[in-house]
Every structure is written in C-alpha cells, then in structure tokens.
Homo-oligomer: A and B are copies of this chain.
Amino acid sequence: MARPDLPRPTEDEIIARYLAPLAGPGGLGLRDDAALLAPPPGHDLVLTADAVVAGVHYFADDPPLSVACKALGVNLSDLAAKGAEPLGFLLTLALGGGWDEDWIAGFTTGLSEAAARHGCPLLGGDTVRTEGETVIGVTALGAVPAGRMVRRTGAAAGDRILVSGTIGDAALGLGLRRKPPAAWSHGLGYAARAHLVDRYLHPQPRLALAAAVRIHARAAMDVSDGLAGDLAKMMRTADLGAEVEVAAVPLSAAAREALALDPRLIDAVLTGGDDYEILCTAAPEAVADLTAAAAAAGVPLTVIGTVSGEPGAPVFRDPGGAPRTFARASFSHF
C-alpha cells in the first residue's frame, strides 16, 4: 500500500491540505492551539472517546475511507445511545509506519463525508507519528437538554428490552474479511456478502434515534462488544437480570442466509462485536411511543425481551424455551 517512492507530506501539510477543510467554525481553521465551542445554553455536554487501532479494530488493508467511517462512527454511536446530538469531534491521528499520502487523502475524504452526514465538524486534534501501528483516537462531543442524558444504568424490573436495526451483521462481516474467509461464507450469495462486509466496515451511528431514546427510553447503551455481553453489562450496573427471546432478535436477510448455511453462527450473531446498534430499555407503557418514534425516524427498534428483578447474567431462550449458553459471552478487542 505505502509508496515509499513518493515524499510524504509534513504534519503542517497534512493539516493544511487535508484536515483544515474539515474544520467547523469552532476549529478556528486548525490554526490555533485549541478549539472554541460555545455550548448550547440549557444543555449538558456528552463526551466520549474511542480509539481504533490497525490490526486490532480494523484490518490494515481496509480502505482508508472505511477506517475513517469506523473511527468517527463508533464514537457517534455512543452519542446516539445517550440521546445526544453531535456538536463536533477532535481527532488524534498517530500514523504508523505504512502510511502514504494516498492513505491520508482517502482517510480524510471518508472523515469529511461522515462528518458532513452526521453534522459533526472537526474541532481540532493532533497528528503524530508512531513506529508501530496506526492508532486513531476520536473524542466526540454532543449535547442533550440539561439532565436528559440516557444512562446505561437506569433500567427497572419489568422494562422491555429493545435493539435498533439488526444484530450480528458486523460479526459475520468480520468472518468474511478474515483471511482465509470463514468456511460457511462460500455458500453465501454476493448481495448477502456485500451487506455483511459493509456492516463490518461502515458502522452507521443511529443518531436518527437519539431524540426517541432520550424521550422514551429509561436506559441505553450502544452494542459494540456483542449483544449478550453488552446486555449483561447493562444489567450488572443496575443489579438486575434479563430474559431475551432469541427468535425476537432482529436479523438482516443476509444474516438469515448465513444462519441457514450454518445454524451455529447464532453464537457469533449474539456475542460478536461491532453492531453499533442501540440497546435500550423502556417501561412497558412507553414501548409503543418509542417504537413509533423510531419507525418515524427510519430505524426500527425491536422488543427482544424483558428486564427481570433477579440479578444475574441475561438468559437467552431458544424458541422451545431452553436457555442458551455461550462459549464467550462478550467480544473484547483488548
């Protein structure tokens, strides 16, 4: 990928040529030491920082546009789950050995597209080099009306559990990106394959749901480490348990096609990472309003289970009622 025959741009050139055009007003053209943001009156700030690392969170040969989409997307996903509207982001780009100007150009093009799509301008950051792998750190800022951030803890016994979109696509897409690809993938049609890989490469933060979640949900988080593991985390913080019907978990047509080829993939679907969907709970009487608001926003929210007052690991029940056990309940990138 790298083209060592071409001279690399300097830090100042990267900033002036590729990053300054992405800066919002608060970024001051990236020509000051800091960014300036007038927080919207009557609002709280919601802050999140997530990094993606080459060889850990993405493949070093993933397209740089995709890497940018993931680096910003995983952070905006956290804002969405908290019910926050994005204000802007800071980027810390630690460039590892293999970069060249084409990579920077592709990465910043992807970043620009994602930032524009989600109304989240670049505010500032730092560009450094590292002898190791590229590390891309993003800090995203959002706003919620004062006191209205949706906490991870906050579920109550009897709440319905809901997830947005579909679950498991990215985990299956990861299987397709591996070399060699997973054995089950050979029977998969082109469209399904493209969908799953796209879901792995290009997480779509559910910002369209932020307002619905903020108004109607009692607890929320994004699903980044797998549905089973993240639901367990959410229940642990509230000292509660959960019952989930596996058959109710929303799946894409592509995931259903993969499951038809190998039913054992249901484990990867339920415990794999990188979904970047919203997991939330709502009082039973709030569910209709919540799902209607989500439908109106264009992203379905599906009821998959119920919060129980018995603390413990969430129970995932197969259609016959038998509880499933997972070899590994949660995905960890660490």
Q: Are B128 and A333 in contact (CB under 8 A)?
A: yes
The complex is assembled from copies of this chain, and their number is 2
Residues facing B in A288-334 (CB within 8 A) are 332-334
CB-CB under 8 A from A222, the residues of chain B are 33
Q: Are B53 and A34 in contact (CB under 8 A)?
A: no
Q: Are A130 and B56 in contact (CB under 8 A)?
A: yes
Smallest CB gap from A77: residue in B: B33
User: Which of B34, B39, B54, B84 is close to A149, meaning CB atoms less than 8 Å apart?
Assistant: B34
User: Which of B44, B127, B334 is close to A36, meaning CB atoms less than 8 Å apart?
Assistant: B44
Smallest CB gap from A42: residue in B: B41
Residues facing B in A41-63 (CB within 8 A) are 41, 44-57
A152 within 8 A of B: yes
**Given the interface contacts A47-B37, A56-B128, does A334 sit within 8 Å of B32 by beta carbon?**
no
Q: Are A92 and B153 in contact (CB under 8 A)?
A: no
Interface magnitude class on chain A: 35 or more
User: Which of B36, B56, B130 is close to A135, meaning CB atoms less than 8 Å apart?
Assistant: B130
Q: Are A137 and B51 in contact (CB under 8 A)?
A: yes
- Closest Cβ of chain B: how far from A63's Cβ, in Å? 20
Measured CA separation A153–B54 after assembly (Å): 37
- Closest Cβ of chain B: how far from A88's Cβ, in Å? 8
Measured CA separation A35–B82 after assembly (Å): 10
A96 within 8 A of B: yes
CB-CB under 8 A from A41, the residues of chain B are 41
Q: Are A334 and B11 in contact (CB under 8 A)?
A: yes
CB-CB under 8 A from A55, the residues of chain B are 130-131
A79 within 8 A of B: yes
Measured CA separation A222–B33 after assembly (Å): 8
CB-CB under 8 A from A34, the residues of chain B are 46-48, 78-79, 82, 84, 142, 149
